[in-house]
């Protein structure tokens, strides 16, 4: 029988395991760009997954760090609020969105936030491309996150903003297309040029160096172009909207799953061939 060693959360040995896991996983080209070859960033996401009580893959795909601040999709924030026992109600259309939270410990006092296009214009948001293309999704996202910050910060563990609120470019589903960055700052550098992992090892007294991950086999041009580009994903979402698909993330993902014949849980799951087939079927540009 194999002996199993149980570590308490936060113990050095458990953190060592997470460091090794993060370093191994960071070599995957299926990760969001902010985590590829960035084991320290992955470790940050794993720690947030523990704090939020969600699966690590949920944190990796739904939590984005913008200028050092963790952010999450409006759908993840809504699920955290509901999981904490609070009641969240959302309504609206292309002109407004209203979100109401009734706390589990004070159900008689409703917290309500309303966002409309006049409020968005006052905040200087309506000039953004995503706001022009998907007003209902953006209004819904703003209403949910603002009322969650107001009524249920205890459920969010510091993840109180969406990427769009922190200035990232997103698509209709709230997925990051391009993060903001400080001019002149190096956004991504080879692991060897950064000291994050060295500091982590020193902090937990890892005496032996972590075995390097073997380099991946060369990828040919066909494999490198398998996944749909951000431009293709946005074109597909625009084409779906023109075909009558509601602009909320759940409807978009359901429509994508139906058209490709498999479950699409994230717009980044869409391949380039699938995107082209959908665009051709809907009369958009392939």
Q: What is the pLDDT of residue 212?
A: 52
Number of Cβ within a 10 Å radius of residue 92: 18
Q: Where are the domains positioned within the chain?
A: 12-64+181-203, 74-178, 223-282
Would the CA dihedral through 61, 229, 255, 95 be positive or negative?
positive
Residue 256 contacts residue 176 (beta carbons within 8 Å): no
pLDDT of residue 17: 83
Confirm if 162 and 73 have CB atoms less than 8 A apart.
yes
Q: What is the pLDDT of residue 231?
A: 75
Would you say 172 and 132 are in contact if contact means Cβ atoms under 8 Å apart? no
Averages of pLDDT over each 10 residues, the chain, 286 residues: 42 70 86 82 82 80 75 88 94 94 94 95 90 92 94 87 83 64 36 41 44 49 58 79 79 83 81 81 64
Q: Could you count the other beta carbons within 10 Å of the beta carbon of residue 28?
A: 13
Q: What is the pLDDT of residue 285?
A: 52
Task: State residue 284's pLDDT score.
Answer: 56
> What pLDDT is stored for residue 157 in this prediction?
82
Q: State residue 42's pLDDT score.
A: 83
Angle between helices 196-203 and 12-25 (to 10 degrees): 160
- Does residue 269 sit in helix, strand or coil? helix
């Amino acid at each position: 029988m194999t002996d199993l060693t149980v570590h308490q959360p936060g113990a050095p040995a458990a953190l060592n395991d997470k460091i090794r896991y993060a370093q191994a996983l960071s070599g995957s080209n299926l990760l969001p760009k902010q985590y590829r070859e960035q084991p320290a960033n992955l470790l940050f996401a794993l720690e947030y997954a523990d704090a939020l009580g969600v699966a690590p893959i949920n944190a990796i795909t739904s939590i984005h760090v913008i200028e050092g601040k963790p952010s999450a999709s409006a759908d993840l924030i809504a699920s955290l609020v509901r999981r904490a026992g609070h009641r969240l109600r959302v309504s609206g259309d292309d002109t407004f969105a209203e979100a109401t939270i009734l706390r589990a410990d004070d159900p008689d006092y409703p917290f309500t936030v309303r966002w409309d296009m006049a409020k968005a214009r006052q905040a200087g948001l309506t000039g953004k491309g995503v706001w022009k293309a998907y007003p209902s999704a953006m209004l819904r996202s703003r209403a949910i996150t603002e009322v969650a910050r107001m009524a249920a910060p205890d459920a969010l563990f510091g993840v109180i903003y969406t990427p769009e609120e922190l200035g990232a470019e997103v698509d209709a589903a709230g997925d990051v297309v391009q993060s903001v960055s400080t001019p002149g700052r190096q956004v991504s550098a080879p692991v060897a040029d950064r000291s994050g992992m060295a500091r982590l090892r020193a902090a937990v007294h890892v005496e032996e160096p972590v075995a390097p991950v073997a380099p991946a086999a060369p990828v040919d041009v066909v494999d490198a172009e398998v996944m749909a580009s951000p431009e293709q994903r946005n074109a597909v979402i625009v084409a779906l909207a023109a075909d009558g698909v509601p602009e909320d993330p759940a409807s978009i993902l359901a429509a994508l799953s139906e058209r490709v014949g498999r479950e699409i849980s994230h717009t980044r799951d869409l391949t380039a061939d699938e995107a082209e087939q959908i665009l051709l079927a809907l009369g958009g540009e392939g």
